[in-house]
Amino acid sequence: MLDSNLRTIALSVKGFMPEHEGDALFDAAMSACKALPGVPMVEVGSYCGRSTVWLGAVAKALDVVLYAVDHHGGSEENQAGWEWHDPEVVNEHGRIDTLPFFRETIRRAELTESVRECVGDSHEIGRGWLQQVALCFIDGGHARDVARGDYLAWTPHVARGGTLAIHDVFERPEDGGQAPYEEIYLPAVQSGKFVEVSRCGSLRVLRREA
Ligand code: SAH
Ligand code: MG
């Protein structure tokens, strides 16, 4: 369970992770890291660090590193005029920049030793990635090509026995955008390498078996 001080911080941070799904992510990360001791975790899409608090708390408790990947320029759906735009994260140059918010969250949560910020394009970072990961949490952009790119760039790095967690998976179009479902969840399951182990809200937790 996330400790109450960190929970207060997580819930005060701007972002898109509902509390019960954050708790499910925490449990998934605990199991993943206990199964593969010392193996790091990756989060793709951190925004202001809300979900990062749940994952970072696991990283700290089990003494592993969490790499938090984001270009911090916001997704398509965060840009001005779109549904998920927040003018408070626009900097003096008129661009979205969530990095200062992310840093402040991690500092307040006292997770700077456990969380490494990886600032850049998630596809590029994933393509050059060399380590296996115990858990990869994909919560990045929801444009189809971005979701597909995250699937291609990151799922090969999930260790066998490791976990792939995907956020914003909606089987029915009336519940939400289809990209995470069609471009990440389905390809993972259909690859024969991943099996679903649990779900909570729009969070899907898969284990790599092959
Ligand atoms: N996990 C966060 C929400 C993430 S929102 C929370 O709990 O609140 C999605 C994030 O993905 C945004 O911060 C956006 O900047 C990032 N993103 C979108 N496309 C990206 C890309 N191609 N490379 C890196 N980051 C990307
Ligand atoms: Mg999300």
pLDDT more than 70, % of the chain: 100
Asked if residues 146 and 121 have their Cβ atoms less than 8 Å apart, the reply is no
Helix 50-62 × helix 19-35 angle, to 10°? 30
Helix, strand, coil shares of the chain, percent, nearest 5, are: 45, 20, 35
Distance 55 CA to ligand 2 centre (A): 14
Pocket of ligand 1 (CB under 6 A): 15-17, 45-47, 50-51, 70-75, 98, 121-123, 139-141, 146
Query: Which tens digit of pLDDT belongs to each residue from 29-82?
Result: 999 999 999 999 999 999 999 999 999 999 999 999 999 999 999 999 899 888
- 142 annotated active-site: yes
| Residues present in the chain in total | 210
* DSSP symbols for 43-101: EE--TTTHHHHHHHHHHHHHT--EEEEE-SS--GGGSTTSTT--GGGB-TTSSB--HHH
* CA distance linking residue 88 with residue 19, whole number of Å: 22
Asked if residues 135 and 33 have their Cβ atoms less than 8 Å apart, the reply is yes
Write down the pLDDT at residue 83.
85
Distance 17 CA to ligand 1 centre (A): 12
Domain ranges of the chain: 4-200
Asked if residues 4 and 10 have their Cβ atoms less than 8 Å apart, the reply is no
Report the Cα 60 to chain-centroid distance in Å.
17
CATH of domain 4-200: 3.40.50.150
Mean pLDDT (whole number) for 163-167: 99
Q: Can you say whether the dihedral through the CA atoms of 167, 172, 177, 183 is positive or negative?
A: positive
